[in-house]
Amino acid sequence: MPLTTHPTAGPVTETYWLSQAWLGTHAEPDVLLEVAGGRIAGVRTGVTTPPPGATALRGLTLPGLANTHSHAFHRALRSTVQVGSGTFWTWRETMYRIASRLTPDTYYDLARAVYAEMALAGITAVGEFHYLHHAPGGTPYDNPNAMGEALIAAARSAGIRITLLDTAYLSAGFGPRPSAPLEPDPHQRRFSDGTAEAWAERASLLKGDDHTLIGAAVHSVRAVPADQLATVAAWAEERQAPLHVHLSEQTAENEACLAVHGRTPARLLADHGVLGPRTTGVHNTHLTPEDIALVGSHGTGTCMCPTTERDLADGIGPAAALQDAGSPLSLGSDSHAVIDLFEEARAMELNERLRTRARGHWTAAALLRAATADGHAALGRPDAGVLEPGAPADLVTVAMDSVRTAGPVPRLAAEAAVFAASAADVRHTVVAGRHLVRDGRHTLVPDVPRALAEAVAALHR
Residue 104 confidence (pLDDT):
98
Buried-exposed string 282-312: b where 16+ CB fall within 10 A, e elsewhere: bbbbbbeeebbbbbbebebbbbbbbbbbebb
The pLDDT-based confidence of 198 (bands split at 50, 70, 90) is very high
Q: Are 128 and 163 in contact (CB under 8 A)?
A: yes
Report how far Cα 317 is from the mean position of its chain's Cα atoms: 17
Q: Give the sheet arrangement for strand 14-22, strand by strand.
A: 4-5, 39-45, 27-36, 14-22, 55-63, 395-398, 426-431, 434-438, 441-442
Say which of 133, 134, 244, 283 is annotated catalytic: 283
Q: Are 279 and 244 in contact (CB under 8 A)?
A: yes
The pLDDT-based confidence of 402 (bands split at 50, 70, 90) is very high
How many whole angstroms separate alpha carbon 124 and alpha carbon 387? Answer: 14
Q: What is the mean pLDDT of the chain?
A: 95
For residues 39-63, average pLDDT? 97
SS3 92: helix
pLDDT of 244 over the 60 cut = yes
Q: Are 264 and 248 in contact (CB under 8 A)?
A: yes
How many whole angstroms separate alpha carbon 307 and alpha carbon 347? Answer: 7
SS3 369: helix
Q: Are 69 and 25 in contact (CB under 8 A)?
A: no
How many whole angstroms separate alpha carbon 61 and alpha carbon 290? Answer: 40
Q: Are 305 and 334 in contact (CB under 8 A)?
A: yes
SS3 53: coil
How many whole angstroms separate alpha carbon 174 and alpha carbon 379? Answer: 29
Find, among 405, 392, 356, the residue nearest to 210 by Cα.
Answer: 392
Residue 95 confidence (pLDDT):
85
β-sheet bridge partners, residue 4? 43
- For residue range 298-327, list pLDDT tens digits in order: 999 999 999 999 988 899 999 999 999 999
Angle at 388 between CA 387 and CA 394, to 5 degrees: 45
Q: What is the pTM of this model?
A: 0.96
Q: Is 283 a catalytic residue?
A: yes
How many whole angstroms separate alpha carbon 260 and alpha carbon 274? Answer: 19
Residue 1 confidence (pLDDT):
41
For residues 270-290, average pLDDT? 98
pLDDT of 62 over the 70 cut = yes
Say which of 311, 334, 340, 394 is annotated catalytic: 334
How many whole angstroms separate alpha carbon 311 and alpha carbon 345? Answer: 16
Q: Is 334 a catalytic residue?
A: yes
Quick one: three-class SS letters along 196-255? Answer: HHHHHHHHCCCCCECCEEEEEEECCCCCCCHHHHHHHHHHHHHHCCCEEEEECCCHHHHH
126: CB partners within 8 A, 6+ apart? 66, 67, 70, 115, 118, 155, 160, 161, 162, 163, 379
For residues 394-419, average pLDDT? 97
